[in-house]
Amino acid sequence: MTHPAPTELLDLARTVALTAGALAHRRRTEGVEIAASKSSPEDIVTAADREVELLIRGLLADARPNDGFYGEESDASGGSSGLTWVVDPIDGTVNYLYGIPFYAVSIAVVQGDPDPASWNSLAGAVVNPTLGEVFTASEGSGAWLGDQRLHVNHDVPLSLALAGTGFSYEAARRVWQANVVGGLIGQVRDIRRIGSAALDLCAVACGRLDLYFERGLNPWDHAAGALIAREAGARVGALQADAEGRDLLIAAAPALYDQFEPVLTGLFERFPSDAGLR
Tell me the closest approach of the beta carbon of residue 157 to ligand LIP, in angstroms: 25
Q: Which of 111, 112, 134, 105 is nearest to 221 (CA)?
A: 105
16-75: which residues touch ligand LIP (CB under 6 A)?
72
Residue from 196, 227, 232, 253 touching ligand LIP (CB under 6 A): that is: 196
Question: Which one of the spans 117-125, 142-150, 161-169, 269-277 is the region binding ligand LIP (CB under 6 A)?
Answer: 161-169
**Residue type at position 275:** A
By CB under 6 A, tell whether 92 contacts ligand LIP: yes
- Candidates 90-98, 107-115, 179-187, 242-250: pick the segment binding ligand LIP (CB under 6 A): 90-98
**Strand bridging mode 211-214 / 235-237:** unpaired
Total residues found in the chain within this entry: 278
Compute φ and ψ for 134, nearest 5 degrees.
-125, 105
C-alpha–C-alpha distance, residues 150 and 153, integer Å = 10
**Residues between 247 and 276 with contacts to ligand LIP, criterion CB under 6 A:** none
Active-site residue flag, 242:
no
Strands 249-252 and 211-214: antiparallel
Question: Of the residues 46, 67, 84, 90, which is catalytic?
Answer: 90
Tell the burial category of 271 from Cβ atoms under 10 Å away from its Cβ (0-12, 13-18, 19+): middle
Under rule CB under 6 A, residue 128 binds ligand LIP: no
Write phi, then psi, for 204 (nearest 5 degrees). -65, -40
Asked if 214 interacts with ligand LIP (CB under 6 A), we say yes
Closest CB 88 distance from ligand LIP, rounded Å: 5
Q: Please give the residue ranges that form the binding site for ligand LIP (CB under 6 A).
A: 72, 88, 91-93, 166-169, 196-197, 214, 221
